[in-house]
Amino acid sequence: MKYLSVAIPCYNVEKYLNKCLDSFSDDRLREDLEVLIVDDGSKDSTPVIAQEYVNRYPEIFKLIRKENGGHGSAVNAGIANATGKFFRIVDGDDWVHTDNLISLINLLKSTETDLVVDQKTKVDMTTGVKSFIKLPSKIIFNHEYAFLDVSDDEVCHFYALHTLNVRMTILKEHNIRLLEHAFYVDNEYLLKVVAYIRNVVFYDLDVYRYLVGNVNQSVSHQSYAKRYDQHERVIKECLRFSTATKWPDGLAAYMKRRILPLIRTHHIISLIYQTNRKEGRENARQFFNFLKVNYPDYANATEKRYLISVMLHHLGFNDERLETLKRITGYGN
């Protein structure tokens, strides 16, 4: 039995993939770990590199090749092919701390909760500087919580794609699937998975190594502006999902806390990050009108930030000036 299935969505990551896959290439993991390398139609040597690891460690690695469909499509393929007790996602340009991963899997063998959360370290790709992302001090490790007891604002943003190990039955039984041909589906994944989570445990294990500082990353300002439409598709899917069912009050409140920051960011993308100011202004107007008509609660909750972003837009703020404003006033936090 495999206790953990790791899906690695890959698209043109030949520069990084060896480092990623090396972190799983350990004889101690042969029996317990399944790594699904999902090549999402790469044009470089990504699948060639992946096949080398399949050949060396067939007990661990499996290569899934598919036409390009985006990050969500690759995650969907990973879920469909996974067989482990728990499931997690590692991007092809990131990696894991091998010894801590082994410790995690040993804990997963006897863990019966729906969700297991570990920790991560950011690594600057230029300087190599590491920044450990520490969980709030109130979190008790190795303690099983009811999910809604640890879903407040202080903990909410620590539920991240890179630190979640989800019980496989949750994904399979509820047919969790993500949008295709879209970035930012990590927000969708977090919303849809957590909808069916009832309990969670946190482990004091720094497992994930998250490479930051790449201007091509989906969270860079330029990428946000370029992929405005994809960001909007994800928000609309999250809104649809969160209102399609009568969720318990606590869970509905958690979903709203996850969606509101996405909407605020969307206003900033259109009004500040987009270089075509006229187009950005019109995009922002149309999206806010969409909220007023279809999701008035969300429109009311974000109207103040929307109007501030409009004001900054007319004052000529761009992403650099906005970052200065954030440092001085904390705006956007």
pLDDT of 216 > 60? The answer is no
pLDDT of 157 > 90? The answer is no
> 46 and 108 share a domain?
yes
Output 41 or 220, whichever has higher pLDDT.
Answer: 41
- SS3 state of residue 320: helix
User: Which pLDDT belongs to residue 156?
Assistant: 84
> 129 and 240 share a domain?
no
Rounded to the nearest 5 degrees, what angle is found at the Cα of 161, between the Cα atoms of 69 and 176? 55
> 189 and 102 share a domain?
yes
Range of the domain at 272: 221-329
Residue in 37, 10, 42, 9 with CA at minimum distance from that of residue 24: 37
- Which of 193, 212, 231 terminates a domain? The answer is 212
> 43 and 176 share a domain?
yes
> 34 and 176 share a domain?
yes
Compute the half-sphere exposure of residue 97: CA atoms within 13 Å on the CB side of its CA.
20
Label residue 37 left, alpha or beta by phi (over 0 means left) and psi (-120 to 50 means alpha).
beta
- Which of 159, 189, 212 terminates a domain? The answer is 212
Query: Which whole number is the average pLDDT over 206-228?
Result: 81
pTM for the full predicted model: 0.92
> 18 and 56 share a domain?
yes
pLDDT tens sequence across 78-135: 999 999 999 999 999 999 999 999 999 999 999 999 999 999 999 999 999 999 999 9
CA 242 – CA 83 distance, rounded (Å): 28
User: Which pLDDT belongs to residue 94?
Assistant: 97
User: Which pLDDT belongs to residue 328?
Assistant: 79
Query: Which whole number is the average pLDDT over 193-199?
Result: 95
User: Which pLDDT belongs to residue 215?
Assistant: 56
User: Which pLDDT belongs to residue 320?
Assistant: 87
How many distinct structural domains can be found in the chain? 2
> 230 and 205 share a domain?
no
> 196 and 231 share a domain?
no
> 202 and 250 share a domain?
no
Looking at residue 316, what DSSP letter applies?
Answer: T
Query: Which whole number is the average pLDDT over 179-205?
Result: 95
Residue in 123, 125, 118, 135 with CA at minimum distance from that of residue 207: 118
User: Which pLDDT belongs to residue 86?
Assistant: 98
Query: Which whole number is the average pLDDT over 72-77?
Result: 97
pLDDT tens sequence across 128-155: 999 999 999 999 999 999 999 999 888 8
User: Which pLDDT belongs to residue 37?
Assistant: 98
CA 68 – CA 303 distance, rounded (Å): 37
> 191 and 54 share a domain?
yes
Residue in 225, 110, 212, 215 with CA at minimum distance from that of residue 162: 212
User: Which pLDDT belongs to residue 219?
Assistant: 52
CA 94 – CA 208 distance, rounded (Å): 8
pLDDT tens sequence across 267-289: 999 999 999 999 999 999 999 99
User: Which pLDDT belongs to residue 230?
Assistant: 95
User: Which pLDDT belongs to residue 74?
Assistant: 97
Give bridge partners of residue 133 from the DSSP assignment: 120
Structure tokens at 273: 């990050």
Strands (E), the chain: 4-10, 33-40, 61-66, 86-89, 95-96, 115-124, 130-133, 144-146, 164-167, 199-212
Contact 21, 104 (CB under 8 A): no
Average pLDDT, the chain: 94
pLDDT of 220 > 80? The answer is no
Surface-to-core class of residue 329, CB atoms within 10 Å of its CB (0-12 exposed, 13-18 middle, 19+ buried): exposed
> 139 and 253 share a domain?
no
Contact 170, 84 (CB under 8 A): no
- Which of 177, 212, 247 terminates a domain? The answer is 212
| Long-range contacts, stretch 103-108, CB < 8 angstroms, 24+ apart | 103/205, 104/4, 104/165, 104/203, 104/205, 104/207, 105/3, 105/4, 105/29, 105/32, 105/33, 107/203, 107/205, 108/3, 108/4, 108/165
Which CATH number do you get for residue 163? 3.90.550.10
> 26 and 156 share a domain?
yes
Q: Which residues of 152-173 are buried (b: 16+ CB within 10 A; e: fewer)?
A: eeebeebbebbbbbbbbebbee
What angle in degrees, to the nearest 10, is found between the helix axes of 249-268 and 228-244? 160
